[in-house]
Structure 1
Amino acid sequence: MNSTTLPTTRLTLAAAALVAAATLALSGCSTPSSETSPTPSANASAESAAITLTDGWVKAVDGDMTGAFGHLQNSSDQDVTVVSASTPSADMVELHEVVDGKMQAKEGGFVIPARGGYDLEPGGDHIMLMALTGALEPGVNVELTITLDDGSTYDVTVPVKAYSGANENYAPGHGDGTETPADEHEGMDH
């Protein structure tokens, strides 16, 4: 190597190192999206690949039950039906609706129309987490597995948020698996 190529080589190596350092620094500065992050499931299908949950969240609670909310979107040309859900954070999970101010199991699941969406919201349809395995504090994450009518699953992680609403009552004869009257469930948080 002669003396005229040595400074050019050092300059090229220094520039490459500077570009690499800048790339690493910028990748750590990205802001989180409002979309929840899906995790590929072992039981994926065209249906599960077609749905996403955006703005997903779970109501913070130190009691026995709470609700999961967000917007389910279906990008396929076929209706997709959510038939159940599960989470390590609760021993029992049900799909719920609110009718005349009373909460009850949603018969037939949540049908997400082709190329459409489906809202899960306080005071409306939601995923009910019961028999919680512990308190859910704001800022922690909850893993949800959503099961579709074709048997496939969609895994997603959602944050826990403080929220003062979503205090609906149970419809008569519905609850945590026992036939407890609805008035004993009044004021329960979810």
Structure 2
Amino acid sequence: MNSEHLMFIHITNPRLVRGAAALAAIPFLLVACSSTDSSSTPARGADVIAVDDQWIKAADSGMSAAFGELTNDSDRAVTVVSATSPASARVELHEVVVAADGTKKMRPKEGGFVVPARGSIALEPGANHIMFMGLNAPLRTGAETTVTLTFDDGSSTTFTAQVRDFAGNQEKYEGDHAGTAPTPGA
């Protein structure tokens, strides 16, 4: 056999063809991998935060609160800096702390809610929550409303939460809110 025939035999061998194709693809794979390096372009908060088990406390007027679980699937911490909802004139991110006299008091959460990398935080009665102040209409059990979270990178995500009955905790509000008392359970 001359060298032309040997080359023809090797090229038509299915294993060699697949191997040659795989080798030829390596430069393309390397270029593709380097162009999507996640360390150069961090994911936006809206793209990595999941909201689960979300609900809102039923209320006739005044104040209410939203609860749930915020989960971060990225390799960096993400901070929720604000929230809005068509259900309320004003929405704040709140925490509950124990005052010197032993009573629980809620107050705005300085710096927002930090959701750790590959972690989660709970928004729950008697702890971190999203406070609705100045309800636009009653929040009736079984109804749903939307809440939009804004992150420290400027991105935002909207979720829907169902309104539920909850007798709840009895915290006092720390700060000035035009004389309105907090709704129990916030």
TM over 0.5: yes
Counterpart for residue 87 of structure 1? 85
What letter corresponds to residue 93 of structure 1 in structure 2? Answer: V
Note the residue ranges of structure 1 that are not aligned, 5 or more in a row.
1-44
Aligned to 1:66, what secondary structure does the other structure show? Answer: strand
Counterpart for residue 164 of structure 2? 161
* Matches of 1:103 and 1:149, distance apart in 2: 23
CA deviation after TM superposition for structure 1 residue 83, in Å: 0.2
Aligned CA distance change for structure 1 residues 80 and 128 (closer, same or farther; 3 Å): same
Counterpart for residue 136 of structure 1? 139
CA deviation after TM superposition for structure 1 residue 168, in Å: 1.5
CA deviation after TM superposition for structure 1 residue 134, in Å: 0.5
CA contact (8 A) 1:74 1:116 kept: yes
* Matches of 1:118 and 1:131, distance apart in 2: 26
Aligned to 2:86, what secondary structure does the other structure show? Answer: coil
* Matches of 1:163 and 1:46, distance apart in 2: 34
- Identify the match of residue 113 of structure 1 among 112, 116, 119: 116
Note the residue ranges of structure 2 that are not aligned, 5 or more in a row.
1-42, 99-103
Aligned to 2:47, what secondary structure does the other structure show? Answer: helix
Counterpart for residue 150 of structure 1? 153
Runs of 4+ in 1 over 6 A off after TM superposition: none
Counterpart for residue 67 of structure 1? 65
Q: Deviations over 1:17-68 (max 9, x none)?
A: xxxxxxxxxxxxxxxxxxxxxxxxxxxx632110011000000011210010
Counterpart for residue 53 of structure 2? 55
Q: Deviations over 1:76-111 (max 9, x none)?
A: 111000000000000000000001100000000000
CA deviation after TM superposition for structure 1 residue 175, in Å: 3.8
- Identify the match of residue 127 of structure 1 among 122, 125, 130: 130
Aligned CA distance change for structure 1 residues 66 and 159 (closer, same or farther; 3 Å): same
* Matches of 2:50 and 2:169, distance apart in 1: 23
Count, aligned residues: 138
* Matches of 1:84 and 1:126, distance apart in 2: 12
Aligned CA distance change for structure 1 residues 128 and 175 (closer, same or farther; 3 Å): farther
Aligned to 1:85, what secondary structure does the other structure show? Answer: strand
- Higher Rg: 2
TM-score between both structures, scaled by the size of structure 1: 0.69
TM-score between both structures, scaled by the size of structure 2: 0.71
Counterpart for residue 24 of structure 2? none
